[in-house]
Amino acid sequence: MNERISPSRQDVLAQDFVAFAVQAGVLRFGEFRTKAGRLSPYFFNAGLFDDGAKLGRLAEFYARRLIESGLEFDMLFGPAYKGITLAAAVAIELARLGRNVPYAYNRKEAKDHGEGGTLVGAPVRGRVLIIDDVISAGTSVRESIGMIRAAGATPCGVAIALDRQEKASENGTDTDRSAVQHVRAELGMEVIAIATLADLLAFLGAQSDAQLASFLPAVQAYRTRYGVGE
């Protein structure tokens, strides 16, 4: 029998975010092949936050989670490409909430005219928070850390929308840690997620919608096979 999750055990912000992602069609259920070659029962595609209303609501979730976390930062950095839009949107929402911070982002290729270089936006200085959608292998985070340090600033953390809480895969072999855990342990970065796979399971376990509730066993089985401890 599937356990029904008590609302008192839930992270309300995370539950609201999962419900929003499902309603927006960004979080989908079925059978999806991941980059690691796994057959996942769910798929999260942040690229589908593709209009002003959805992007604005997403930025609200990021901003609320960041304020709630208490993490201290001086500016935002958005790695190309998805991180660019996310950092700009989150900066706007933080300003709306009374916390006005600058933001910057990188180009994939250096510009050899005009202002030149690979960094665009505010000068990269102080404590810099990286904004991205997910952490798959940590490559984008490592590249961002390198650019931030090269500019003389200090990377202080990473904010993402969803932590899949699953084992990373290297050369086709599962590791003992997730990509998020690797970033925390090896790169020394705090990682703040709006929601996690555990929150998704809580959402499905509390569903009165039979169709959504029907996906719970498959997601539970996936976490049993590929999941990591929190």
Annotated active-site residue 167? The verdict is no
Question: What is the distance between the alpha carbons of residues 118 and 151, in angstroms, rounded to a whole number?
Answer: 11
Does the annotation flag 103 for ligand binding?
no
HSE-CB of 67 using CA atoms within 13 angstroms = 18
Annotated binding residue at 191?
no
Annotated binding residue 54? no
Instruction: Tell whether residue 167 is among the known ligand binding residues.
Output: no
43 is in an annotated binding site: yes
Per annotation, catalytic residue among 54, 111, 167, 182:
111
134 in a known ligand binding site: yes
The residue written with tokens 């539970």 in the block is 220
Cα end-to-end span (Å), the chain: 24
Strands (E), 144-200: 154-163, 167-170, 173-178, 190-196
Q: Which of 54, 113, 167, 182 is catalytic?
A: 113
Q: How far is CA 66 from CA 87, 199, 215, in A?
A: 12, 17, 30
CA 68 to chain centre: 16
Answer yes or no: is 111 a known binding residue.
Answer: yes
Check the annotation: does 194 bind a ligand. no
Residues contributing to the annotated binding site for 5-phospho-alpha-D-ribose 1-diphosphate: 35, 81-82, 107-108, 111, 113, 132-140
Would you please indicate which residues are annotated as catalytic (active-site) residues? 111, 113
